[in-house]
Structure 1
Amino acid sequence: MSREITLQPITADAFAPYGDLIDCAGDPDRIINQGLCGRYHDRARLDFADGRAGISLFRAEPRILPMRLEMVERHPDGSQCFVPMSLDPFAVIVAPDEGGSPGTPLAFRTAAGQSINFHRGTWHGVLTPLSAPGLFAVIDRIGDGANLQEHWFENPFSVVE
């Protein structure tokens, strides 16, 4: 039996328990580069237990909604930041932690130009582009040891519009 989760527009407040919404909301913190560039300063908190920050590229296949959500994962040793390399929205699925297991997931849709940073230990769905090319820069922990926990739902969810 599948349970439905409705995709909703992402907001900084709604996403705050799970991570940082990275965008150019509001006025820039500084004007730089001879007055031709607004700097929106320090928009995400990178957090690593050990290791170092690294930048990787991910190319993910686009998903079509409705989409079956069978599994979420988390990274206990580091935050994970996804920066799309196109202006296409993507789906962001998160779940609260309930005693070491994920609770009921939420699903968000980003707007063009938005990125996200999952807090360390946040349950989240896999990278979910909604259109091609599905290319992302990912800033996360590079280091020794396992930094991945997966949870497979006994009763999957269905992510819908």
Structure 2
Amino acid sequence: MNITITPKEITKENFSKFGDMITTDGINPIEINEGFAKRFDGIANLNTSKDNGETTICIFSALKRTFPMKIDMMEKHPLGSQAFIPMKPTTFLAFVAPAGDKPDLNKVESFIVPPGIGVNYNADVWHFPLISTEDMNFLVVDRKGSGDNLVIKNFDNEEIVLKY
């Protein structure tokens, strides 16, 4: 199977079947700290407690990818969601497929995530690891704990290319 995927602009609606677009758009903030700050609640549905998992915050130091890019595998985390928030304004890409026993290559999608936006993958959603367009750090909210929370599907007979 030969597939070429071109990413599209992300919106809350077109990404919702895979997780959350992390943004403050459309959320009414709560004023805090005597008006010197605003708090935006409910921007992502984190889910890390399955099988007594805990939430951890970490930093992924990502290297710039080059395009066109060969997609040779996908992974999923069946026990928890996983959020990626760039630590400075940047564009990055998400490459995803719906939850299931294996990635449905007929339903693969890719999204351009613009500066100021993050993503939160729902538990069990297939995705390619972080696709950064520059060398930089991402704040990651992830699950830690016992259980097998990483499933990898390698593509041995498929030719999948991400064109950006």
In the superposition, the TM-score normalised over structure 2's length comes to 0.90
1:85 to 65, 74, 87: 87
Deviation at 1:146, TM superposition (A): 1.9
* Counterparts of 1:109 and 1:91, CA distance in 2: 5
**Contact 1:75/1:122 (CA < 8 Å) preserved in 2?**
yes
* Counterparts of 1:27 and 1:124, CA distance in 2: 27
Deviation at 1:27, TM superposition (A): 4.9
Match for residue 119 of structure 2?
Answer: 116
In the superposition, the TM-score normalised over structure 1's length comes to 0.92
1:55 to 49, 57, 78: 57
3-state SS in 1 of match to 2:148: coil
- Larger strand proportion of the pair: 1
Runs of 4+ in 1 over 6 A off after TM superposition: none
* Counterparts of 1:67 and 1:80, CA distance in 2: 23
3-state SS in 2 of match to 1:13: helix
CA RMSD of aligned residues (A): 1.5
In the alignment, structure 2 segments of 5+ residues that lack a partner are none
Deviation at 1:38, TM superposition (A): 2.8
**Contact 1:83/1:136 (CA < 8 Å) preserved in 2?**
yes
Once the two structures are aligned, what percentage of the paired residues are identical?
33
Match for residue 135 of structure 2?
Answer: 132
Q: Which 10-residue stretch deviates more, 118-127 or 38-47?
A: 38-47
